[in-house]
Amino acid sequence: MPLSTQSQTDDAQYILVASLDNARNISNILKAITFKDHAIFSATPNGLKVTVEDSKCLQANAFIQADIFQEFTIKEDSVGFQVNLTVLLDCLTIFGGSTVPGVSTALRMCYMGYGYPLTLFLEEGGVVTVCKINTQEPEEPIDFDFCSSNVTNKVILQSESLKEAFSELDMTSEVLQITMSPNQPYFRLSTFGNSGNAHYDYPKDSDMMELFQCTKTQINRYKMSLLKSSTKALALSCKVSVRTDSRGFLSLQYLVRNNDGQICFVEYYCCPDEEVGDD
Amino acid sequence: KVTWRIFKKSIENQQVFICRLNEACVCVCVCVCVCFSTCQGHSFPFEDRGRVVPRTTGRWADPPDCELLAFGLRLLPIRSTFLQQSVQAVFRSLATLEKTVEKCHIELDADRNRLTFTLHCKHGLLKTHNLSFQDSESLQAVFDKDSSTNVLKAQPRVLTDTVLNFPPSLDEVTVTVSDERVWFRNHVDQEAEPSKAMLTELCLSSDEFDHFEVRARSSVTFCLKELRGLLVFAESTGLPVSMYFDKPGSPVVLSVTDSVLDGNFVLATLSDESGVQTSDRTGTPAPPADDFMNDELESYLIAMDTSMAAGPSVPAPLAPGRVVSPTATPDPWSPAHSEPGEDLTEEEEEPGRPPNKKFRSLFFGSVYPPGSPLGGHTPSSQKVLASDSEDDG
């Protein structure tokens, strides 16, 4: 393979080298968090974390574990850079992102360090494309300070049932209200749109509900415009964990299984819109 | 009788939309009236608006009913109606509705002007849609399909294959019945240039129908779109479609019925009268004589051909206003529509124009001398689309 022969010589210069037989395994996940152009990449020996933020109120993290890659070499404890995610995705799908079985784009992603571009070697059917994407000064991701010890309510659902609800959500509603409670209605999504309001109630004993751990009734509203961007990740995922902490911050964790059966996570944090009383 | 209604008037196109639900009937009306009723034991739970019933605790509608209801609501032709959109949003995807909804509960809270749809879905998911609405003036389609003079019943496939021959852009179709045959033909707009209009006609024998009952030869013109919509539904459920109609101007009722549900689509038909006669609705003429039995198709086609050429120069054969129907029963539509123009939402004839459709004079004018008597039938100012040799003899 052209990629492997070529890389041997250059490897020494790079502080990060990650290769993947099928670029779609990473491009699919990155697509799910592409609601803003700029993405902060931070690599550790465990893998790659890609962070996208919106309005200082929403943060999406895609975790791509090191073992997803066929090769993942990192020479420092942590490597960080920022690139334009849209450009990166365009490069990853430069061969058209074909979905024909047996045809895949091999990827080798290399980074030489601060100030250098992110270099992608892409190969499909013997054709190699080299893309160099200029990196930017990495910004510090917002720390939402969401720790599991502060989680008051948590449910894990099969994504299937949420997909349907999200596809039907009344987008004229400015907010999505999430009610989580140890008592009825247990887990409720509500919208308040032009034509009236709508509620989606999930009973705690539904076979779609894998885990139901609610200790306290919480009703919080989140901007629909922010949560809407999480639907792409929802579409890819097979399970979702919905958690709220004592401040009403929302964490959505999506478990995404790729074509090879490997597991990645996409996580969203969202600030509550405002304090609301009972409705 | 009427348990509740939702009315919205759209000023722009002067069409009126009604959604009326009562114990037996869900009715949606513009020029199209869609009625759904469910048989005993399956009735929708409804609350009487007239009486003050705080909350209804009714029975549940089964999925087929929901589906039919959703289907009917989606057929509503008005785009601007706010409530309609809201209701359609509830039933956004018929495909998922069918798969996921187990029960549907519809409830009206009149005090709060709130209409609540509760869908019980698979996996215990409960969807509640609270829609607000405004009450509006009343309009009601009154019809009695059992008193119709003509009843045709056919498998949906027969009718689907028939309407397939018409271009998708065609707005109206004319159905003409004689003792043993039925003709479907495209309706040509009055304004259309006769020489450029293409005429398509299909003739079905009475054998093709499961039930064929023609007591008065007649010809009615109505919207094809609604017929197509109904046929899609009828085909998917495999239910035969019945057509009930009398005379031009009175509604045609398309209905699908099985043991659980009864869906009636009441469609306005084109009135034969021109705008000259707007004040007298009951004067709708008798069905045009239209017997074609002894004619060879060739001779008919020749007649068509010559009439096409002669068309523009042939004067309208009959003067308007001289027609009196022998069966001058009150128009069943009239309680709702006192103005005949309202019946003809898309097809209103302008006053002052020649009284009838151009193709009437086209065919009639060339085949017969104007005003020729047509057998035992009351001479009508109607379009007569086929030659009439048998009646002459």
ipTM, interface predicted TM-score of the complex = 0.79
Instruction: Compute the C-alpha angle A48/A51/A56, nearest 5°.
Output: 160
- B278–chain A nearest CA distance, Å: 39
In chain B, the number of structural domains is: 2
B349 and B291 both lie in a single domain: yes
Whether residue B89 and residue A170 make contact (CB cut-off 8 A), yes or no, is yes
Residues B195 and B68 in one domain: no
Q: 């450029």: which residue's tokens? A: B196
Q: In this predicted model, which residue has the larger pLDDT, A132 or B365?
A: A132
Quick one: average pLDDT of B245-255?
87
| Residue percentage of chain A with pLDDT more than 70 | 94
Q: What residues of chain A lie within 8 A of the CB of B89, using their CB? A: 168, 170, 195
Contact criterion met (CB < 8 Å) for A201 and B114:
no
Whether A160 shows a pLDDT value over 50: the answer reads yes
Q: Which of A107, A133, A159 is the last residue of a domain?
A: A133
Phi, psi of B306 (to 5 degrees): -65, -40
Residues A121 and A160 in one domain: no
Q: Could you tell me if residue A140 is inside a domain?
A: no
Domain with B108 in it: 4-132
Looking at the domain assignment, is residue A275 inside a domain? no
pLDDT: which is higher, A264 or B229: A264
Residue B138 lies in a domain: no
DSSP assignment of B225-238 equals: HHHHHHHHHHHHHT
The pLDDT of residue B120: 81
pLDDT, tens digit, for every residue of B83-97? Answer: 555 666 666 665 666
Q: Are residues A191 and A68 in the same domain?
A: no
Residues B198 and B95 in one domain: no
Q: Which residue segment(s) compose the domain that A167 sits in?
A: 148-270
Instruction: Convert chain A into a string of H (helix), E (strand) and C (coil).
Output: CHHHHHHHHHHHHCCEEEEECCCHHHHHHHHHCCCCCEEEEEEECCEEEEEEEECCCEEEEEEEEHHHCCEEEECCCCEEEEEEHHHHHHHHCCCCCCCCCCCCCEEEEEECCCCCCEEEEEEECCEEEEEEECCECCCCCCCCCCCHHHEEEEEEEEHHHHHHHHHHCCCCCCEEEEEECCCCCCEEEEEEECCEEEEEEECCCCCCEEEEEECCCEEEEEEHHHHHHHHHHHHHEEEEEEEEECCCCEEEEEEEECCCCCEEEEEEEECCCCECCCC
**Chain A contact residues (CB < 8 Å to B):** 161, 164-165, 167-168, 170, 194-203, 205-208
Q: Which pLDDT band, with edges at 50, 70 and 90, does A214 fall under?
A: very high
More confident residue, B214 or B139: B214
**pLDDT score at B227:** 87
Contact residues on chain B for A194, CB-CB shorter than 8 A:
82, 86
Residue B120 shares a structural domain with residue B240: no
Contact (CB<8Å) B82/A195:
yes
Contact yes or no for A195 and B93 at CB 8 A: no
CATH classification of the domain holding B349: 3.10.150.10
Chain pair A-B, CB pairs under 8 angstroms = 63
pLDDT at B211 over 70: yes
Q: What is the reported pLDDT for B234?
A: 84
**Domain assignment of residue B67, yes or no:** yes
**Final residue of a domain: which of B108, B132, B156?**
B132
Res A212 pLDDT > 70: yes
Do A12 and A41 lie in one domain? The reply is yes
Residue B100 lies inside a defined structural domain of this protein: yes
Task: Measure CB to CB from residue B86 to each of A165, A196, A202 and give the nearest one.
Answer: A196
Q: Which of B132, B164, B194 is the last residue of a domain?
A: B132
Q: What is the mean pLDDT of residues A225-230?
A: 90
Question: Across residues B12-41, what is the average pLDDT?
Answer: 29
Residues of A in contact with B128 (CB under 8 A): 198-201
Q: Are residues A12 and A125 in the same domain?
A: yes
Residues B149 and B97 in one domain: no
Tell me: do A61 and A22 sit in the same domain.
yes
B25 — pLDDT class (breaks 50, 70, 90): very low
Judge if B115 and B158 occupy the same domain.
Answer: no
* pLDDT-derived band at A3, boundaries 50, 70, 90: low
Establish if A138 belongs to a structural domain: no
Per the rule left: phi > 0, alpha: psi between -120 and 50, beta: everything else, A220 is beta
pLDDT score of A15: 94
pLDDT value at position B303? 46
Q: Which residue from A161, A170, A194 is facing B123, i.e. has the nearest CB?
A: A161
Residue A66 has pLDDT above 90, yes or no: yes
Most confident by average pLDDT, A81-90, B66-75, B352-361: A81-90
- Mutation pick from A157, A162, A164, A166 vs chain B, by most beta carbons of B within 10 Å, is A164
B239/B261 same-domain check: yes
Mean pLDDT of B111-123: 76
- Average model confidence (pLDDT) for chain B? 58
Same domain, B124 and B162: no
- Residue A237 belongs to a domain with what CATH number? 3.70.10.10
Name the residue with higher pLDDT: A94 or B291: A94
The answer to whether residues A46 and A87 belong to one domain is: yes
Residues A118 and A159 in one domain: no
Within this chain, do residues B257 and B327 fall inside the same structural domain, yes or no? yes
**Same domain, residue pair A29 and A120:** yes
Domain membership of residue A76 (yes or no) is: yes
Residue B209's pLDDT band (cuts 50, 70, 90):
very high
- Is residue A159 very low, low, confident or very high in pLDDT (cuts 50, 70, 90)? very high
**Final residue belonging to a domain, choices B101, B132, B163:** B132
For residues B60 and B208, membership in a common domain is answered with no
Which range, of A213-227, B200-214, B249-263, averages the lowest pLDDT? B249-263
**Least confidently predicted of A164-178, A223-237, A243-257, B332-346:** B332-346
What's the structural domain count of chain A? 2
Which range among A16-25, A190-199, B183-192, B254-263 has the greatest average pLDDT? Answer: A16-25
Residues A100 and A32 in one domain: yes
The percent of residues above 90 in pLDDT, for chain B, comes to 11
Instruction: Write out pLDDT tens, residues B227-248.
Output: 888 888 788 778 899 999 988 8
**Which pLDDT score, from 0 to 100, does residue B189 have?**
75
What local confidence, expressed as pLDDT, does residue B357 receive?
A: 39
Q: Is A56 in the same domain as A162? A: no
Tokens representing A115 are: 């100030």
Q: Are residues A39 and A108 in the same domain?
A: yes
Chain B residues close to A167, C-beta within 8 Å: 93
Q: Give the pLDDT score at B84.
A: 53
Q: What is the mean pLDDT of residues A116-145?
A: 93
Output B32 or B182, whichever has higher pLDDT: B182
Q: Is the same domain home to B103 and B166?
A: no
